[in-house]
Structure 1
Amino acid sequence: MCFELDSLPPVPRIAGAAVSHDDLELDAADGNRFAAFEATPDEPNGISVVVLPDVRGLYRFYEELALRFGERGYHALAIDYFGRTAGVGKRDDDFEYTEHVEKTTPEGIQTDIGAAVERLRPRTRAIFTVGFCFGGRNAWLAAASGHGLAGAVGFYGMPAERNGVPGPTQRATELEAPILALQAGADQHITADLNEAFERALAEAGVEHELVVYEGAPHSFFDRRYEEFAEASEDAWRRVLEFLERHSA
């Protein structure tokens, strides 16, 4: 689990920004129906973002993050992972997400991302993935999955092979879009060696990239509750927005 259920993104609201939002059900190419949350700005900037949550799937933190993107002119769509096993209904705080995470597949997740991309594509000039933890890894892998992304952003994602499944490090030569990796220096599982191997693989593959490690920051530092890491969160958010603007031109 990444964030507590009452956590919020450490991104200020923009008072007066006109954004509409909707709970959606999207249909993937394999017939899966899954939940999503869409934030649509009244004055869009032509850039869209698919928000990929952590292992718990879609909940308030990511809906709020989609709204923060929307307030800044980005068309944002946060998706859930568990339509195949848990349906599309809203879930309470006791949702046992672990058993559903174990039943996901890389192919299924990318199929769902593809459905989100296709919903966004008619109204945008550039589409990015932005993911966290489990979603960070899958955001990067989306750049190797034929979605036509302009870039992929991951917060504290696992870049290495996991449970025998190749990660972004192993698939670096397949990545077709620039990569932004925002990693936690005090992460107990994503070590400095793994980050260095990821950066080396990206460089050797000729993938445009930026990998930033926030020294001393824990996994899931991008959280308003972590006041001691507010500076790291502010820097990470700035880098995300700059990345989106730079690669959407």
Structure 2
Amino acid sequence: MSGGSGGEALTLASADGTKFRAYLARAGDGDAGVVIAPDVRGLHSFYEELAERFASAGVHAIAFDYFGRTAGMDRRGDDFDYMPHVRQATPRTVFADIAASRARLEKETKATRTFVLGFCFGGRIAFLSSAEQPGLAGVVGFYGRLGKRENEVWPAPAEQAPRMRAPVLGLFGGGDPSIPPSDSAAFDSALTIAKLKHHIETYPGAPHSFFDRTFSEHKKECDDAWRRVLAFMRTGDPARAA
């Protein structure tokens, strides 16, 4: 995936004083903004390019890194051993980093309607942000895991549905064994019971990470997902397809 409008590398400070990397791309105009929560790799170049692509589409965007506390501030290559750092990332610290990223986005741009969008590990974080980040315009989760493992510190999104306030768009691959249909159905049901505006879209046969790591192999699904995301950010309706 190629980017678009140029962006700016930033160093932000979280509520506890931790410094972490972020990447800001400004749209020419518009009041929509998005905080991008990456997959387990943290602030990979894919997410910098995605921020630029959002800016080219008229959405101010900032992507941030989870691992300032454990991996430092240096840029990292594709050989980065991310799992030890993922295990140390907690809801308290990640949501504080999202709040700092959002504050910088809204200060530096004209964004007044801010969304959180995430992928994989970040997809779950995006869903949970509907409960944890007040005043969001919406959240988008690409293949965010919905189940909960034993001793895991992150709650299952369905458990938090009664606390969620921002509309939810969930985008899943039908060929993803890590997110069985029963999990997405349970999440859909929990959001319905909570009377929260939402839409769940599943692409038959698409694998986990179809939009990021295997983007070029799933163009049809990616194009549809991109249209849905932009329509949601334009209208506030997660069920809009274009």
Q: What TM-score results when the alignment is normalised by the length of structure 1?
A: 0.89
**Paired amino acid for 1:211:** I
Per-residue CA deviation, residues 66-90 of structure 1 (Å, 9 max, x unaligned), is 0100111211000000001011111
Match of 1:136 in 2: 123
Match of 1:145 in 2: 132
Does structure 1 residue 105 correspond to structure 2 residue 90?
Answer: yes
Q: What TM-score results when the alignment is normalised by the length of structure 2?
A: 0.91
Match of 2:13 in 1: 27
Per-residue CA deviation, residues 98-142 of structure 1 (Å, 9 max, x unaligned), is 111111101111010000111122432200011100000001111
Does structure 1 residue 239 correspond to structure 2 residue 225?
Answer: no
1:224/1:230 contact within 8 Å kept: no
Q: In 2, Cα distance between the equivalents of 1:192 and 1:140?
A: 17
Q: In 1, Cα distance between the equivalents of 2:43 and 2:170?
A: 21
Q: In 2, Cα distance between the equivalents of 1:191 and 1:97?
A: 25
Q: In 2, Cα distance between the equivalents of 1:104 and 1:221?
A: 24
Measured after TM superposition, the shift of residue 225 of structure 1 is 4.6
Q: In 2, Cα distance between the equivalents of 1:23 and 1:85?
A: 19
| 1:155 maps to which of 142, 165, 179 | 142
> Which segment drifts farther, 92-101 or 75-84?
92-101
**Paired amino acid for 2:61:** A
Q: In 2, Cα distance between the equivalents of 1:64 and 1:149?
A: 23
Does 1 or 2 have the higher relative contact order (CA < 8 Å, sep 6+)? 1
Does structure 1 residue 79 correspond to structure 2 residue 79?
Answer: no
Per-residue CA deviation, residues 45-100 of structure 1 (Å, 9 max, x unaligned), is 11111011000100111011001001112110000000010111111232111111
Q: In 2, Cα distance between the equivalents of 1:106 and 1:224?
A: 25
Identity %: 45
Structure 1 residues 226, 74: CA separation in 2 closer, same or farther (over 3 Å shift)?
closer
2:90/2:153 contact within 8 Å kept: no
Does structure 1 residue 196 correspond to structure 2 residue 185?
Answer: yes
| 1:213 maps to which of 195, 202, 219 | 202
Q: In 2, Cα distance between the equivalents of 1:155 and 1:70?
A: 19
Q: In 2, Cα distance between the equivalents of 1:110 and 1:146?
A: 8
| 1:229 maps to which of 210, 218, 231 | 218
2:91/2:153 contact within 8 Å kept: no
Q: Secondary structure at the match of 2:133?
A: coil
Q: In 1, Cα distance between the equivalents of 2:82 and 2:217?
A: 29
RMSD of equivalent CA atoms: 1.7
Q: In 1, Cα distance between the equivalents of 2:217 and 2:58?
A: 29
Q: Secondary structure at the match of 1:144?
A: helix
Match of 2:22 in 1: 36
> Which segment drifts farther, 191-200 or 85-94?
85-94
**Paired amino acid for 2:59:** Y
**Paired amino acid for 1:37:** Y
Structure 1 residues 223, 83: CA separation in 2 closer, same or farther (over 3 Å shift)?
closer
| 1:67 maps to which of 52, 60, 81 | 52
Q: In 2, Cα distance between the equivalents of 1:81 and 1:229?
A: 27
Measured after TM superposition, the shift of residue 222 of structure 1 is 1.1
Match of 2:240 in 1: none
